[in-house]
Amino acid sequence: MADEGKALRGKKKQKRTLQKLKRYYMLYLMMIPGLIYLLINNYVPMSGLYLAFKNIDFRLGLLGSDWIGFKNFEFLFRSQDAFIITRNTILYNLAFIVVNTVIAIMLSILLNEIISIRRIKLYQSLILLPYLISMVVVSYLVLAFLNTKGFINSTIITGLLGRGTGISWYSEAKYWPFIIIFVNAWKNVGYLCIIYYASIIGISSDYYEAASLDGARMWQKIRYITIPLIKPTVITMVLLSLGRMFYSDFGLFYQVPMDSGAIYSTTNVIDTYVYRALIQLSDIGMSSAAGVYQSVVGFIVVLGSNLVVRKVSKENALF
């Protein structure tokens, strides 16, 4: 009985799939170029993973070179590099998520309290502007501030605070976690803020009117109306960024610290490491090994964050 029902349902489902296929075949056709692109760009290169386990010798060719197991991976773990870059990548991304979300929500609530439309437009544009600037340009803006004779050293430290010498920012690793997080927030908060602002103006004004009639103050309105109502948007945005935990903004970590060796311990992330490995070692096997390491750890992190996502809200999970 139950089996029959199942079979029937299966048939029905099949039929429905066919029907759907017929109905939307145009859309599916349109998907093909995108799929081909994905296949060429994301799946075909995966076959290159095997390079990481080979000792490349051109006389023997790529396929004919000797298998050497995990020997290519050893250099990663020789000087704690693997630990440092993994730690940096994950911690920075976590910090970005927290800092950016909090600032963006604060800004969007403040924007919502402004009445003059012209001012709203002005502030919105000012906040969004950094998001549109290329990282290379940003890196030189940062340089103008942090240079040995830059704004911070010459005006603030030696000028206002009256200290004799400035700080050589680009050789002191300890300051960089703050600088990187600050620059990232300055650059990316605008975009997030626009999204939150859009969902705040979507909140019906009835709630606020009713609250005012009941004598609610501004802070109470924010606390009990605005924040609960934008919560779904916040969750979605945080989940989206959790899924990208193991990507890092190459420009932010390579251009902004000006590729200065002395501060690698706090600015080196997986992307910059793989890049440097390829450029400097020019050893295909070893740079592939660094790439494989990135993929594997990235995969684990994505799985992990998906687990968290599923706990929080099931419909936002990837699988």
Span 2-31, contacts to another protein by CB under 8 A:
30-31
Contact 192, 135 (CB under 8 A): no
User: How distant, in Å, are the alpha carbons of 6, 108, 110, 239 from that of 189?
Assistant: 51, 10, 14, 16
Structure tokens at 239: 């989940």
Using CB under 8 A, which of the segments 53-61, 102-110, 203-211, 302-310 binds another protein? Answer: 53-61
- Comparing CB distances to another protein, the nearer of 181 and 278 is 278
- Asked whether position 245 contacts another protein by CB under 8 A, the answer is no
Per CB under 8 A, the list member of 149, 174, 311, 314 interacting with another protein is 149
Gap between the Cα atoms of 18 and 3, Å rounded: 22
Comparing CB distances to another protein, the nearer of 112 and 316 is 316
How far apart are CB 14 and another protein at their closest, in Å? 26
- 249 and 269 Cβ atoms separated by less than 8 Å: no
Nearest CA to 301 among 279, 267, 277, 270? 270
Binding residue (CB under 8 A) for another protein from 14, 20, 64, 74:
74
Restricting to residues 155-174, which ones interact with another protein according to CB under 8 A?
Answer: 168, 170-171
Q: How far apart are CA 178 and CA 180, in angstroms?
A: 6
Q: 129-148: which residues touch another protein (CB under 8 A)?
A: 143, 147-148
Looking at the Cβ atoms of 167 and 302, the one nearer to another protein is 167
Q: Which is nearer to another protein, 84 or 99 (CB)?
A: 84
Structure token pair of residue 38:
């994905």
Rounded Cα distance, 174 and 168, in Å: 11
Least distance in angstroms from the C-beta of 263 to another protein: 8
Residues between 248 and 307 that touch another protein (CB under 8 A):
258, 260-262, 264-265, 276-277, 280-283, 286
For residue 310, state whether it binds another protein (rule: CB under 8 A). no
Of 265, 279, 271, the closest CA to residue 250 belongs to: 271
- Phi, psi dihedral angles at 55 (to 5 degrees): -100, 95
Tokens of 304: 């992990």
Beta bridge partners of 67: 54
CB 118 to another protein: min, Å: 27
87 binds another protein (CB under 8 A): no
Query: Taking CB under 8 A as the rule, does residue 52 contact another protein?
Result: no
From candidates 49, 50, 71, 167, binder to another protein by CB under 8 A: 71
The CA distance from 145 to 182, in Å, is 13
Structure tokens at 177: 């976690």
Total of chain residues touching another protein, rule CB under 8 A = 39
CA distance 276 to 227: 44
Q: Which residues bind another protein (CB under 8 A)?
A: 30-31, 33-34, 36-37, 40, 57-59, 61, 71-72, 74-75, 78-81, 143, 147-149, 168, 170-171, 258, 260-262, 264-265, 276-277, 280-283, 286
